[in-house]
Amino acid sequence: MVRARRFDVLVFLSILLVLGGCVAPVTPEQSTPTDASDGTVGASAQTPNSVGTPVASTAPVVTVTVVDVVDGDTMKVRYENGTRDTVRLLGVDTPETYGENTPDEFEGVPETDAGRQCLRRYGEQASEFATDTLDGRTVRLGFDENEGRRGYYDRLLAYVYLDGEQFNYRLVAEGHARMYDSQFVERTRYAAAERAAQEANRGVWNCATAAADGGSEATETVTESNDGPLRLSLHADAAGADGDNLNDEYVTLTNTGSKSLALGGWTVADAADHVYTVPTGTTLASGESLVIHTGSGRDSDTDYYWGRNSPVWNNDGDTVTVRDETGTTVAVHRSG
């Protein structure tokens, strides 16, 4: 009888082992989907890239495609099943481009026409930045346990992740937006990023120094990064409203050397990394100048046109950096 009992136990254990081998462990991707937007799309939570967020609850859970950027903090997206939605970015507020700006929402920005105009310019730049970065891209959305799923206008409130990086945070860190005053879980991290941007006078926080009379005059002072022959000057403050007179906003490149400069493939960039590339074959003879206008027109021997639809250079101070075709800095101009 003892042998029979031992045999029965062995058989029972063998059956358990076989059954255990047939059951695969549950992975995060196989877990129950998380509702994304009223049941439209669901996906499981994944561990975010460390660049994205340290808060696990805000990790990306939904995949969408950005089909239109409304402004710096609002965009339209398409879900994988073809339905569409409007997303308002959590925790951030970029300056208005369509409505009137309220300077006192941006700490230190003067309650003047100059302050409001400066905010509008940076609002346009934030919109361009969001368009250049996100339009047409596949991104992931995360949500916030302290905020409702939808806002006052029924827009989806979300964090947007591109390649594992949280775009909302990047807007604040790079000075494209202020931190929105609410109780979202990322608030502490965003507040630190905003302080750093303010202290560096980065992006929209340049508006804190806007003069009450409409901004500082453009300066022709040149600060060079080396002893090369290229000289730069910046005319940032166009006559009237900058956005209505883009070709009166320009950078001038002058060759003070004794030999011609082959500029093809060289780049001209501002502090926010808007980049113009000089056309191939461009040569600047000794003593000659080339003017690069922000707006549109037909290039000539002396004047080139960037072809942008909104201002680039900040009236209250900016940095012009010229690099050659290898990416080496040739000259730097700082104003303001």
Is 155 a residue of the active site? yes
- Mean of pLDDT values over 243-268: 91
In Å, the largest CA–CA distance within the chain is 111
Reported as a single tens digit per residue, the pLDDT across 150-200 is 988 899 999 999 998 999 999 999 999 999 989 999 999 999 999 998 988
With cut-offs at 50, 70 and 90, classify the pLDDT of residue 36.
very low
Instruction: Kindly tell me the burial class for residue 256, based on how many C-beta atoms sit within 10 Å of its own C-beta (0-12, 13-18, 19 or more).
Output: exposed
Q: Is residue 215 in a domain?
A: no
Q: Is residue 216 in a domain?
A: no
Same domain, 323 and 261: yes
Question: In the structure encoding, which two tokens stand for residue 124, read together?
Answer: 């346009």
Instruction: Kindly tell me the burial class for residue 133, based on how many C-beta atoms sit within 10 Å of its own C-beta (0-12, 13-18, 19 or more).
Output: middle
Cβ neighbours, 10 Å, residue 108: 14
DSSP H helical ranges for 232-320: none
Number of domains in the chain: 2
Q: How far apart are CA 48 and CA 37, in angstroms?
A: 20
Q: Is the pLDDT of residue 11 over 60?
A: no
One-letter amino acid for residue 64 of the chain: V
Instruction: Please report, for the domain that includes residue 204, its CATH number.
Output: 2.40.50.90
What is the average pLDDT value for the chain, to the nearest integer? 81
Domain residues for 97?
62-209
Please give the residue that has the higher pLDDT: either 143 or 48: 143
Q: How far apart are CA 311 and CA 242, in angstroms?
A: 6
Q: How far apart are CA 314 and CA 235, in angstroms?
A: 10
Same domain, 198 and 73: yes
Q: Is residue 49 in a domain?
A: no
- What pLDDT is stored for residue 65 in this prediction? 98
In 3D space, the residue among 251, 240, 280 whose CA is nearest the CA of residue 263 turns out to be: 280
Is 325 a residue of the active site? no
pTM as predicted: 0.53
Q: Is residue 166 in a domain?
A: yes
Q: Is the pLDDT of residue 222 over 50?
A: no
Residue 318: how many CA atoms within 13 Å on its side-chain side?
Answer: 31
Q: Is the pLDDT of residue 42 over 90?
A: no
Please give the residue that has the higher pLDDT: either 73 or 55: 73
Same domain, 82 and 194: yes
With cut-offs at 50, 70 and 90, classify the pLDDT of residue 336.
low
Q: How far apart are CA 181 and CA 15, in angstroms?
A: 60
Q: Is residue 183 in a domain?
A: yes
Catalytic residue among 88, 116, 170, 323: 88
Reported as a single tens digit per residue, the pLDDT across 94-140 is 999 877 888 889 999 998 888 888 898 899 989 999 999 999 999 99
Q: What are phi and psi of 80, to 5 degrees?
A: -65, -25
Same domain, 69 and 170: yes
Is 323 a residue of the active site? no
66 neighbors 137 (Cβ within 8 angstroms): yes
Q: Is residue 251 in a domain?
A: yes
Between 26-30, 139-143, 194-198, 326-330, the lowest mean confidence (pLDDT) is in 26-30
- Mean of pLDDT values over 297-309: 94
Catalytic residue among 78, 105, 150, 155: 155
